[in-house]
Amino acid sequence: MARSLFRILKAYKNIVSTPYKYQPSSCLQFTNSIARTMVGLPFSLSFKPQDFSLPNSSWSAEMMRLYNYYNSQCEVETEIGEKNRGPWRRLPSYNRTLKYATGGAYLSKLIQSKNRLFTRSIKTPGAAFEYVVFLNKEEQRTVCIFQAGHLLEGPPGHVHGGAIATMIDSVTGTNAAYISGPLVTANLNIDYRSPIPLGSTVLIESSLDKREGRKTFVSCKVTSTDGSKLHTEAKGSSWEGERVVDGGWRSMRGARARQTTLRGKPFTCSIKGKDNC
């Protein structure tokens, strides 16, 4: 990257220091040179983030089939030929959520600038978490098409239970967040039924069970793409209206927060009448 920037500065310096003499082709040559240099710059200088929920070369034929099916439900055509929004919506997925994560009081800005979403931290396509999530807001449920890469191995040839739990937490959290707004996971109970082979494609479906006050309860199941085999099922609950502040939790609804200590450090708890969150 340093060499690429040096080439740009050197070209600019030559233009400034050279007496002007009109040549019809000179501007075109300089433009082409700058264009070639910019193409060679790394992705980190690009202003357009990469959407990891879009297909790539690692996706299997089954994953592409399911993607095309749900993606076709995102837009419907009326009898007169007009296109309207369908019942489903594809959710974009990026490897960062914030430029600097809130609550990082104990981290330097340099470390924070390198934050990456856990499920999108592996650059090699197909090596770890390959997935796309579709949301049906009217039915209050989500469907995730998930393909596990070789870096997620637990039992020989099968997906690690922690990787499955990660995806369940991500899908149920996404579903609950679109129903209730900002939240954090409070509880997640998982029952593993049958192992998932590495490289296979599965469906992770989450739906709303109920809401009680500030808590949202959702259920989830992981099945084969044809629904014939149940791999995992789970139930979870989330507290809504929370955000991370200086190493603790603070209510976004303005509830009175009180200070306690956690391992010798200040800890903010917004749940009245309880000693911890």
Active site residues: 169
SS (H, E, C) 53-106: CCCCCCCCHHHHHHHHHHHHCCEEECCCCCEEECCCEEECCCCCCCCCCCCCCC
The SS3 call for residue 275 is coil
- State the amino acid at position 238 in one-letter form: S
Instruction: Say how far apart CA 52 and CA 49 lie, in whole Å.
Output: 9
Kindly state the tokens that stand for 49: 């983030």
Instruction: Say how far apart CA 221 and CA 206 lie, in whole Å.
Output: 7
Instruction: Say how far apart CA 164 and CA 170 lie, in whole Å.
Output: 10
DSSP per-residue codes, 188-244: EEEEE-S--BTT-EEEEEEEEEEEETTEEEEEEEEEETTS--EEEEEEEEEEESEEE
CA torsion angle for 150, 156, 157, 161 (degrees, to 10)?
-70
Residue 262 gets which letter from DSSP? Answer: E
Phi, psi of 222 (to 5 degrees): -115, 120
CB 206 within 8 A of CB 172: yes
